[in-house]
């Protein structure tokens, strides 16, 4: 019999997954006023357990209204700590840190602090898949499961359903593989299962909700499979391939796949807080490491600003990938993606001449409202400004 606690857990986690995959709200799109939910070069960073001073940000001369306005937003929504970055004409023109990385230890957020970025991990995975397709190591039509497929028959009990064997790389990219989040998003359940065990469980115990290619349904599991595809094709771990072949060429050196517990925090990673009263919505009660390719990365706003500048489809400074090699929404002149996990909220908007990033280390039941408020604030500040600094606050110091 299912306990009352488990029923509450399922309902709340289903709420989270549904909020991140609504059929009415694309997780990536040209910027609108709607919410879309589902991404360092400074080697002088200090350790998180030794930084107890004031927030140490670079100069943002002339953009003080953004700083003061964001402080008001933090007060309204009770943020613990945050980072904000803005790029303009291929320069990081604004980089600011706010609040506490760890409240009890009185550690402040600094510009090298790392945050969980949730579903902003997906554009990073999509960039890796785009590169493999461009390099001829993958095709969008490649099948994922079954004989002569990428992942073959190593998961689950044979035989697969014919529909499972028809799933392609493109279906996973576009969230049209037919996987369902009912009765719960599988990536938030069975924390003790390995990735391989989880894939087997889905194939053996869950029928596809729709014919592959016929219907959109946001799927964290689908992007988890893309991570396994990357590993199979490259013979490297997902994290090591992305670090070496995607992030390093963008001069991003400190991003990593996060771990699960507070004691396992990576150097300079913030502590996560939540206003959810239910213990099952616990920042340290989810398997973040297993979420790697769909939601596991930790990053700074500076990291994601560099990623944005290498992904903004502006020709004067070459992007990481040629326009012809980009897949799906990466081809668009502008796109955005949000991330949410218990204890963290992230907002990324990529375009030219301006992109922005906001990372927060506290979540609440009204996280959809918070994401919209952050995006509205940032868009108003960006769209209303005509005078921008000409210097790069990171490289022109």
Give the pLDDT of residue 58. 56
391 in a domain, yes or no?
Answer: no
Q: What is the mean pLDDT of residues 181-185?
A: 91
Band of pLDDT at residue 276, cut at 50, 70 and 90: confident
Residues 6 or more apart whose Cβ sits within 8 Å of residue 98:
55, 70, 71, 74, 79, 81, 82, 83, 84, 109
* Cβ neighbours of 372 (radius 10 Å): 16
**Contact call for residues 109 and 98 (beta carbons, < 8 A):** yes
Q: How far is CA 45 from each of CA 13, 42, 107, 345, rounded to the nearest angstrom?
A: 35, 7, 14, 23
- Residues 342 and 17: their CA atoms lie apart, in Å, by 11
Determine how β-strand 91-102 pairs with β-strand 107-108: antiparallel
Q: Residue 27 pLDDT > 70, yes or no? A: no
Q: What is the mean pLDDT of residues 85-90?
A: 96
Give the pLDDT of residue 397. 42
* Cβ neighbours of 334 (radius 10 Å): 16
Give the pLDDT of residue 59. 58
**Contact call for residues 332 and 319 (beta carbons, < 8 A):** no
Lowest mean pLDDT among 16-20, 63-67, 92-96, 102-106: 16-20
Query: 3-class SS at 362?
Result: strand
394 in a domain, yes or no?
Answer: no
- Residues 394 and 288: their CA atoms lie apart, in Å, by 30
Q: End-to-end CA distance of the chain, in Å? A: 62
pLDDT, tens only, 221-262? 999 999 999 999 999 999 999 999 999 999 999 999 999 999
- Residues 42 and 379: their CA atoms lie apart, in Å, by 28
Task: Classify the phi-psi angles of 279: left when phi > 0, otherwise alpha if psi is within -120 to 50, otherwise beta.
Answer: alpha
Band of pLDDT at residue 275, cut at 50, 70 and 90: confident
Q: What is the mean pLDDT of residues 343-359?
A: 97
Determine the structural domain holding residue 54 and report its residue range.
4-383
- Residues 393 and 95: their CA atoms lie apart, in Å, by 7
Q: Residue 6 pLDDT > 90, yes or no? A: no
388 in a domain, yes or no?
Answer: no
Indicate which CATH number applies to the domain containing 183. 3.40.710.10
pLDDT, tens only, 300-337? 999 999 999 999 999 888 999 999 999 999 999 999 99
224 in a domain, yes or no?
Answer: yes
Band of pLDDT at residue 10, cut at 50, 70 and 90: very low
DSSP per-residue string spanning 34-79? S----------PPPTTT--SS--PPP-TT-HHHHHHHHHHHHHHT-
Q: What is the mean pLDDT of residues 352-366?
A: 95
Closest listed residue to residue 148, CA positions, set 166, 173, 134, 133: 166
More confidently predicted of 198 and 20: 198
Give the CB-side neighbour count of residue 59, counting CA atoms within 13 A.
9
397 in a domain, yes or no?
Answer: no
The pair of structure tokens assigned to 249 is 């060429």
Phi, psi of 369 (to 5 degrees): -65, -40
Burial class (CB in 10 A: 0-12, 13-18, 19+), 380: exposed
Considering the chain, what is the average pLDDT of its residues? 87
Q: What is the mean pLDDT of residues 73-102?
A: 97
Q: Residue 53 pLDDT > 90, yes or no? A: no
The pair of structure tokens assigned to 148 is 């002569």
231 in a domain, yes or no?
Answer: yes
Torsion of CA 285, 289, 294, 299, to 10 degrees: 100
Give the pLDDT of residue 57. 55
Give the pLDDT of residue 300. 98
68 in a domain, yes or no?
Answer: yes
Closest listed residue to residue 329, CA positions, set 42, 29, 43: 29
Give the pLDDT of residue 279. 61
In total, how many domains does the chain have? Answer: 1
211 in a domain, yes or no?
Answer: yes
Lowest mean pLDDT among 49-53, 75-79, 228-232, 257-261: 49-53
- Residues 307 and 225: their CA atoms lie apart, in Å, by 23
Q: What is the DSSP letter of 290?
A: G
Q: Residue 15 pLDDT > 60, yes or no? A: no
Closest listed residue to residue 113, CA positions, set 81, 86, 87: 81
More confidently predicted of 397 and 157: 157
Q: What is the mean pLDDT of residues 273-282?
A: 79
Q: Residue 104 pLDDT > 60, yes or no? A: yes
């Amino acid at each position: 019999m299912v306990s009352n606690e488990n029923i509450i857990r399922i309902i709340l986690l289903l709420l989270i997954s549904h909020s991140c995959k609504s059929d009415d709200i694309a997780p990536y799109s040209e910027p609108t006023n709607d919410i879309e939910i589902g991404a360092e070069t400074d080697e002088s960073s200090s350790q998180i357990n030794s930084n107890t001073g004031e927030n140490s940000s670079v100069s943002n001369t002339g953009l003080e209204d953004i700083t003061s306005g964001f402080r008001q937003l933090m007060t309204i929504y009770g943020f613990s700590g945050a980072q904000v970055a803005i790029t303009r004409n291929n320069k990081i023109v604004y980089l600011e840190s706010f609040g506490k990385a760890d409240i009890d230890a009185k550690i402040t957020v600094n510009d090298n602090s790392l945050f969980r970025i949730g579903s902003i991990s997906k554009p990073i995975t999509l960039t890796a898949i785009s590169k493999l397709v461009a390099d001829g190591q993958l095709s969008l039509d490649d099948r994922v499961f079954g004989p002569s497929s990428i992942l073959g028959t190593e998961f689950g009990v044979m035989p697969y359903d014919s529909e499972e064997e028809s799933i392609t790389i493109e279906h996973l990219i576009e969230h049209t593989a037919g996987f369902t989040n009912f009765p719960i998003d599988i990536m938030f359940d069975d924390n003790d299962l390995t990735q391989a065990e989880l894939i087997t469980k889905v194939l053996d115990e869950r029928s596809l909700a729709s014919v592959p290619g016929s219907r959109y349904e946001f799927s964290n599991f689908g992007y988890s499979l893309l991570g396994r595809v990357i590993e199979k094709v490259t013979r490297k771990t997902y994290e090591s391939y992305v670090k070496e072949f995607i992030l390093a060429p963008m001069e991003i050196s400190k991003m990593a796949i996060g771990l699960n517990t507070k004691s396992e925090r990576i150097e300079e990673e913030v502590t996560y807080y939540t206003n959810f009263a239910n213990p099952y919505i616990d920042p340290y009660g989810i398997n973040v490491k297993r979420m790697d390719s769909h939601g596991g990365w930790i990053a700074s706003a500076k990291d994601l600003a560099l990623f944005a500048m290498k992904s903004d489809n502006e020709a004067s400074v070459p992007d990481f990938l040629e326009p012809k090699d980009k897949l799906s929404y990466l081809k668009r002149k502008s796109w955005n993606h949000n991330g949410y996990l218990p204890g963290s909220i992230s907002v990324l908007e990529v375009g030219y001449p301006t992109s922005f990033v906001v990372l927060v280390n506290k979540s609440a039941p009204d996280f959809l409202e918070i994401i919209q408020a952050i995006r509205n604030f940032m868009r108003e500040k960006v769209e209303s400004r005509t005078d921008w600094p000409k210097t790069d606050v990171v490289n022109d110091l």
